[in-house]
Structure 1
Amino acid sequence: MKNLPVFDLVIILVYLIGMVLVGVYFSRRNRSTEEFTRAAGRIPGWAIGISIYATFLSSNTFLGVPGKAYGGNWNAFVFSLSMPLAAWLATKYFVPFYRSTGEVSAYTNLEKRFGTWARTYAVVCFLLTQLARIGSIFFGISLTLQALTGYSMVTIMVVTGICIVIYTVLGGIEAVIWTEVVQGVLKTLGAIVIIYLVVREVPGGFQDIFKEGLANDKFSLGTMEFDFVSSSFWVVLLYGFFINLNNFGMDQNYVQRYHTATSPKEANKSVWLCVWIYVPVSFLFFVIGTCLYTYYQQHPNLLETIKLQAASEQLGLALHRLEVSELAASMKPADYGDKIMPHFMVYMIPTGLLGLIVSAILSAAMSTVSSGMNASATVFTEDIYKRYINNKSSDKNSLKVLYCATVVVGLIGMLCGIAMIGIKSLLDAWWTLSGIFAGGMLGLFLLGLISKKVNNNDALIGTIVGICVILWMTFSYLIPEQYAFLKNPLHANMIIVVGTLSIFLVGNLSRKLRRM
């Protein structure tokens, strides 16, 4: 284990302190819930756009995407290609709708449309999604810093979590947005620097990388056949469209930002700015994965070290070395893809630059986590506390609840991250969890927004059926083999697609049957 040089540790420490000081600076403005949750509507569209981009470009992207590209191909890039269509629908229908209602919570309107149960269901789904997201971010960042420092993953999660909680609680949404502007720039530069450093180590440069990538089918976007069982082009495209529509159209992280804009036009501009930055930058991370694949194929001795490390973590260090070696020998690239980027950072990035790269990864984690914490605290305060516990809460009291909820969400998110220790693929884990929790929520939103004649009972029937479908698709793998015909035959990424369509179609079918 190579220890992180003192100079790099100082850079990282300065960055963390700087983020906390940003929270302290903006804390002077947070005298009301309006300031904490909306920044009084004074943020320019370009800053919000970079902020949304920074939220999208989480440490799951920074670490998971290169690992995914290393272990497989560019199939997951199709997710990014689905963003423009989702953004178009969001800016045409969702953003104007939210700006017109004036409600800071994305879920208040569901109660007006379908009743209390609809709002509660959406809130529960959102909070579970955020906890899963925050947990996966904490896990990803601890995975990297453990390789760099040797500290336990739990310790790393606690230290970084405390810093994030402090500046999020003190600064509110304004601190979150402006720190994400800085973080967005930092993580983009980090990706460019990593590509340069990897290509520099490959003797033939991009020519060798391109040749190796072609020989091993690394540039494939997945099969173009209409195959919904494997991770085909169409599966990822559908998954990406529904997830991105969920993000832009009804995720509190983004809806809340629309309210911070100075005008509806600026809010729409922020969505498109995010798309035009994120798509090419996400492409860079797939390039990084392929570059790393070429580099480690040319250095099999380093690759063997990574495989042994991955095998040791899977089996436990107490087992005999022979067992570890046997497992390492049988490992495929997908089994240790998430280990590649941390290893390259530890051994191949020079002192000084390493601190900046780690800071970029930290910024990727902090921007997503702080955004999720602020949004979750807002939802808890508006949709749970003020709705069920104290509907006459004063603004001062509500602000205290926002502070407390932010801390609690951060702590629970850390626990979720600890529970994820040991998973094989960071990106796969996040995609599966988000698809499960977001599927029903999106279906209900579309039902309320598009189908004007669907009533409360229709929506309830559709949601119940949709939940049953989602649960079956998620857990049918537990069914005994003698009843294998009852198992879900589709790829896990289809959960959000089928779940959303089930709620929407069944709700409309119920309306038609009711009118017969």
Structure 2
Amino acid sequence: MNNMPLLDIIIILIYLAAMVLVGFYFLRKNKNAEQFTKASGKIPGWAIGLSIYATFLSSNTFLGVPGKAFGSNWNAFVFSISMPFAAWIASKYFVPFYRKSGNISAYEHFEKRFGAWARTYTVICFLLTQLARIGSVFFGIALSLQALTGYSMSTIMIVVGICIIVYTVMGGIEAVIWTEVVQAIIKTLGALLILYLLLRGIPGGITTMIEIGKNNHKFSLGSLSPNFTESTFWVILFYGFFINLNNFGIDQNYVQRYHTATSAKEAKRSVWLCVFLYVPASLLFFIIGTSLFAFYHVHPELIESVRQQAAIEKLTGSASARDIASLAANLKPDDYGDKVLPHFMVTQLPSGVTGLIISAILSAAMSTISSGMNASATVFTEDIYKRYFHRTPNEKQKLRTLYISTIVFGLMGLSTGIAMIGVKSLLDIWWTLSGIFAGGMLGLFLLGIISKRATGHAALTATIIGVVVILWMTFSANIPARYAFLRNPLHQNMIIVIGTLIIFLMGLLLSAGKRKVSTTVINEN
């Protein structure tokens, strides 16, 4: 086990204790469910914008993006480029829609529009998405801290998870937002500090980094060819647009924040503030990834232990030193990209600085996890507990349900993170899971708000067709080779794009057909 300097341990413990104390501070304010879920609508737009930015900037970004840039190129940055397009639609249409409805749940209107089945379906998809998101973020925390401390990943997740659950349960959405404001600042400063230390360790600094990046095609945004079978520029652009549209439009994490704003205008401003912060921040993490590549390109001997460890993890059973060395020599940067930044922190950062960076990574993770826990508890209370178990609970019953469900979803997300131990790429696993669960939700949402003619039966049929297509696109790679023609030919990031479009377009088509039939019957009579 690595021996972490006492100064770093003190810094991390102070940070964790401070987050828990924030929960205690806001505990006294949580006298009713509205305060717990909406903060009584008294949060300024700039704080909400920083909060949304902090939720976007999770440990998936802090660790996954540099790992992706180290292993390949800047193709994934196209995801961020798509964000302003989704934000424009959200601020113009989605924010006013939710503020006018007054429903704290993003999914209650589905029942009014299409029936109970639609609300149930979207709630299930959302909760599964949150488990995938929280789990992948827990995994990201453990990945970095394991390299530093030597403790098992599961132990790290449990310790950090308890701290997150405590302050989220006690403080409600107001504690979540204000801690995220602090976390947004900490994680951004932490990233800038990492970049500075990286460039300082590269002879020639930024000039050498750019030269090495160009020579190894690290700045490529992907092919511009209309090829949807590979991770081209267009595949990531479409994927990013639909995922961001899903985030701003029907993700409870964001919709709930619209209700905490003092006005619709402030809620719109929060969306744009998030975009203006996240796009350059995500670029910063890609620069960090390329700088890591340049650093270890100049100092190849310093990365050998990471390659050895990655080789050991790939080999099953006992393996000789010769086998490990042979496999390590043939590994590609993409095979160990997620491990490089934690390794740099362990071996290159001075005492004290490591604690600050770990606190930044913790803040990146904690903001996403606490937000997801609070949103999941709100959805469970509004869409499941009040819908199926107790339609008119008093304030004490609603608060108790919110508290218990927050704890339960925190523990379930923690378990999901433990189950993810061993995945190859943190960013890839999250993108795959989010595409599966989000595709059907977004298509149904767009059908409901764009088409006035869409009926519940048409929407149900379209959703069934869309879900079948999504499942086929996701799992058809497992079809035996002799039936290879039945496999999905498109890239996996196209799942949410195709799933959304099928549900939306099929809903329009089926509704138009029913309307035509109904008109014909009326005319004949």
Q: Does the alignment reach a TM-score above 0.5? A: yes
Q: Is the alpha carbon distance of 1:317 and 1:351 closer, same or farther for their aligned partners in structure 2, counting shifts above 3 Å?
A: farther
Residue 203 of structure 1, CA deviation: 0.7
In the alignment, which residue of structure 1 is the partner of 2:211?
211
Amino acid of the structure 1 residue aligned with 2:246: N
1:386 alignment counterpart: 386
Q: CA offset at residue 316 of structure 1?
A: 5.1
Q: Which residue of 2 aligns with 1:157?
A: 157
Work out the CA distance in 2 between the residues paired with 1:207 and 1:2.
34
- Answering whether residue 476 of structure 2 is matched by residue 476 of structure 1, we say yes
Unmatched segments (≥5 aa) in structure 2: 517-525
Matched to 1:40, the amino acid is: S
C-alpha offsets along residues 304-332 of structure 1, whole Å, 9 cap, x if unaligned? Answer: 21100111122257432222222211110
The aligned counterpart of 2:22 is 22
- Contact 1:2–1:347 at 8 Å: present in 2 too? no
State how 1:98-117 maps to structure 2 within 5 Å.
98-117=98-117
- Tell me the amino acid that sits aligned with residue 380 of structure 1: F
Q: Which residue of 1 aligns with 2:305?
A: 305
Q: Counterpart in 1 of 2:523?
A: none
In structure 2, the residue matched to 1:286 is: 286
Q: Shift of the alpha carbon at 1:84?
A: 0.4
Q: Under a length normalisation based on structure 2, what TM-score does the superposition of the two structures give? A: 0.97
The residue type equivalent to 1:389 in the other structure is: F
Q: Which residue of 1 aligns with 2:321?
A: 321
Deviation for aligned residue 1:429: 0.5
Amino acid aligned to 2:148: L
Aligned to 1:7: 7
- In structure 1, distance between residues paired with 2:148 and 2:317: 19
Letter in 2 for 1:75: N
Secondary structure in structure 2 of the residue aligned to 1:453:
coil
- Structure 1 position 340 matched with structure 2 position 372: no
1:203 & 1:274 partners in 2: Cα distance?
35
State the alpha-carbon separation in 2 of the partners of residues 181 and 374 from structure 1: 16
The CA distance in 2 between the partners of 1:166 and 1:451, in whole Å, is 43
* Cα distance in 2, alignment partners of residues 300 and 291 from structure 1: 13
Give the unaligned 5+ runs of structure 1: none
Between the aligned partners of 2:57 and 2:381, the Cα distance in structure 1 is 27
Deviation at 1:484, TM superposition (A): 0.4
Question: Which residue number corresponds to residue 437 of structure 1?
Answer: 437
Helix, strand or coil at the partner of 2:344: helix
Show CA shifts across 1:435-476 (max 9, x none): 000000000000000011001001001100000000000000
Instruction: Supply the distance in 2 between the matched residues of 1:282 and 1:317 (Cα, whole angstroms).
Output: 39
Alpha-carbon distance in 2 for matches of 1:356, 1:317? 38
Runs of 4+ in 1 over 3 A off after TM superposition: none
Give the C-alpha shift of residue 107 in structure 1. Answer: 0.3
Separation (CA, whole Å) in 1 of partners of 2:313 and 2:19: 33
Query: Structure 1 residue 71 and structure 2 residue 71: aligned?
Result: yes
Equivalent-residue separation in structure 2 for 1:414 and 1:472 (angstroms): 29
Structure 2: distance between partners of 1:64 and 1:300 = 21
Q: Residue 521 of structure 2 aligns with which residue?
A: none
Q: State the distance in 1 between where 2:65 and 2:317 align.
A: 28
- How far is the alpha carbon of 1:151 from its aligned partner? 0.4
Deviation of 1:420 after TM superposition, in Å, equals 0.5
Q: Deviations over 1:180-211 (max 9, x none)?
A: 00000000001100000000000111111010
Q: Secondary structure in 2 aligned to 1:183?
A: helix
Pairing of 1:234-273 with structure 2 (within 5 A): 234-273=234-273
Could you list the per-position Cα deviations for residues 216-257 of structure 1 after superposition, in whole angstroms to 9, with x for gaps in the alignment?
A: 000000000111000000000000000000001110000000
What's 2:489 paired with? 489
Other-structure match for 1:231: 231
Q: Distance in 1 between matches of 2:303 and 2:353?
A: 23
Residue 148 of structure 1 corresponds to: 148
Instruction: Report the secondary structure of 1:13's partner residue.
Output: helix
Give the AA of the match of 1:251.
D
Distance 1:353 1:316, change over 3 A: farther
Q: CA deviation at 1:384?
A: 0.4
For 1:213 and 1:38, locate their aligned partners in 2 and report how far apart those are by CA, in whole Å.
46
Q: In structure 1, what is the equivalent of residue 420 of structure 2?
A: 420
Q: CA deviation at 1:515?
A: 2.5
Query: Are the equivalent residues in 2 in contact too, given 1:459–1:507 (CA < 8 A)?
Result: yes
State the alpha-carbon separation in 1 of the partners of residues 498 and 11 from structure 2. 46
Alpha-carbon shift at residue 3 of structure 1 (Å): 2.3
Give the whole-Å Cα distance in 1 for the aligned partners of 2:268 and 2:71.
37
Deviation of the 1:157 alpha carbon: 0.3
Do 1:4 and 1:346's aligned partners in 2 also have CA atoms closer than 8 Å? no
**C-alpha distance in 2, partners of 1:145/1:223?**
36
Output the amino acid matched with 2:367.
S
**TM-score, normalisation: structure 1:** 0.99
Separation in structure 2 between the aligned mates of residue 434 and residue 114 of structure 1, nearest angstrom: 24
Q: 2: distance between equivalents of 1:202 and 1:381? A: 53
Deviation, 1:176, is 0.1
Amino acid corresponding to residue 33 of structure 1 in structure 2: A
Paired with 2:201 and 2:2, the residues of 1 have a C-alpha distance of: 19
1:53-99 CA-to-partner distances (Å, cap 9, x unmatched) read: 00000000000000000000000000000000100000111000000
Q: Which residue of 1 aligns with 2:519?
A: none
Q: Which residue identity lines up with residue 279 of structure 2 in the other structure?
A: V
Aligned positions of 1:403-414 closer than 5 A: 403-414=403-414
Residue 371 of structure 1 corresponds to which residue in structure 2?
371
3-state SS in 1 of match to 2:421: coil
Residue 398 of structure 1 aligns to which amino acid in structure 2?
A: K
> What is the DSSP-based 3-state SS (H/G/I as helix, E as strand, rest coil) of the residue aligned with 1:424?
coil
Per-residue displacement from partner, 1:471-496 (whole Å, max 9, x unpaired)? 00000011111110000000000000
Name 2:354's counterpart in structure 1: 354
Corresponding position of 1:123: 123
Give the counterpart letter for 2:263 in structure 1: S
- How far off is 1:263 after superposition? 0.3
Question: Aligned equivalents of 1:285 and 1:2: distance in 2?
Answer: 26
Identity score, percent: 67
Paired amino acid for 2:72: G
Separation of aligned partners in 1, 2:2 and 2:392: 56
Deviation at 1:389, TM superposition (A): 1.1
Give the partner amino acid of 1:330. Answer: N
Equivalent pair of 1:314/1:422 in contact (CA under 8 Å): no
Match of 1:192 in 2: 192
Question: Does the 8 Å contact 1:12/1:356 carry over to 2?
Answer: yes
Distance in 1 of aligned mates of 2:393 and 2:436: 34
Which whole-Å CA distance do the structure 2 matches of 1:161 and 1:316 have between them?
30
Q: Tell me if the contact between 1:76 and 1:236 (Cα under 8 Å) persists in the aligned partners.
A: yes
Moved more, 181-190 or 292-301: 292-301
Conserved? CA contact 1:297–1:303, under 8 Å: no
Aligned partner of 2:95 in structure 1 is 95
2:254 aligned partner, one-letter code: Y
What is the root-mean-square deviation in Å for CA atoms of aligned residues? Answer: 0.8
Give, in whole Å, the separation in 2 of the partners of 1:381 and 1:486.
42
Match of 2:176 in 1: 176
